[in-house]
Amino acid sequence: MSTIRITWRGDAATVHAADNALSEVLDPPADAVSLLKEDSSEADSDTPWTLHAYFEHDPDADAVTEAFAAFGLNIGPGEREVLEDRDWVAHALEGLGIVEAGPFVVYGRHDADKAAALPGHHIQIEANRAFGTGHHPTTAGCLEMLAEVETAAPSRILDLGTGSALLAIAARRLWPHATVLGTDIDEPSVAIGEENAELNGAQGITFRVADGVDESVRREGPFDLVMANILAEPLVDLAPDVAAVTAPGGRILLAGLLDRQEAAVIEAYAAEGFAVTLRGGNVWPILLLERHAERGTLSRM
């Protein structure tokens, strides 16, 4: 069966936003996406990047345009080519290397031997349609930020939009006695998260299909730490619901937004009594916020 590859080129911010659009917004999403840069410059530089997206079937051009528009992108239809009969999706995924972020070493099966020689918390994540292999700046930034708050151990953690469950597993590594709930609106992602948790021996993580902060999530709160590496618009929309399940003095880790969207996200959570205590990233901000203890929240049921 042939594979369709569509290629776009641009600076880091553009191609990483396009990656998110094709992986998270486009329905159905790309089967695989790979990012290449021309030299070793930092990910937030103006170094030319190439984005390859692989599809088993031709994506709807209007759907791709709408997905890009969600990120304010107008980068055209890309360069389309039909590739020879080969498992190009597997080829693209295996090209992903080891990620070292904070105390974490994230790798795929093909890099297991190399990863074994590196110090840190080892997490094996196989690339697939569930977002979160650690290669995107938002995911790597969240892993680094978790290490910054390692000493303040939470007892109840929510990973909202868990995807591959990488952040849930990482939190469990740092806080082995914490109770972790990973939720996602996408049922296949939840199944993948469960598989990854089992693969990594991460006990104590519960997974659930949930549309945002629904009643099933509320029953598990309040949480001392809420992690949400999703998109700016749902982050803003979910601010009151996230506040409702965050304990007084609790923290939230937010990512998936671009720098131009940062002010709106901070404003939405400031209205709910949160203030930024740490910020990471550049083009892709990573925000750690803390809730003022005097603000009300739900009680455990």
State how far Cα 267 lies from the chain centre.
22
CB-count burial class (<10 Å; 0-12, 13-18, 19+) for 203: exposed
Residue 184 annotated as part of some ligand binding site:
yes
**Cα 300 to chain center, whole Å?**
28
Residue 34's alpha-carbon distances to 29, 88, 118, 138, 224, in angstroms, are 13, 11, 24, 16, 35
Q: Is 141 annotated as a binding residue?
A: no
Which residues fall within 8 angstroms of residue 63, CB to CB, at 6 or more apart? 26, 27
Alpha carbon distance, N-terminus to C-terminus of the chain: 53
- Candidates 219, 209, 207, 256; CA nearest to 236 is 256
132 is in an annotated binding site: no
How far apart CA 53 and CA 23 sit, in angstroms, is 9
Tell me how many degrees the CA angle 252-256-258 measures, rounded to the nearest 5: 115
Question: Is 50 annotated among the ligand-binding residues?
Answer: no
Q: Which residues are annotated as a binding site?
A: 139, 161, 184, 229
Q: Which residues are annotated as a binding site for S-adenosyl-L-methionine?
A: 139, 161, 184, 229
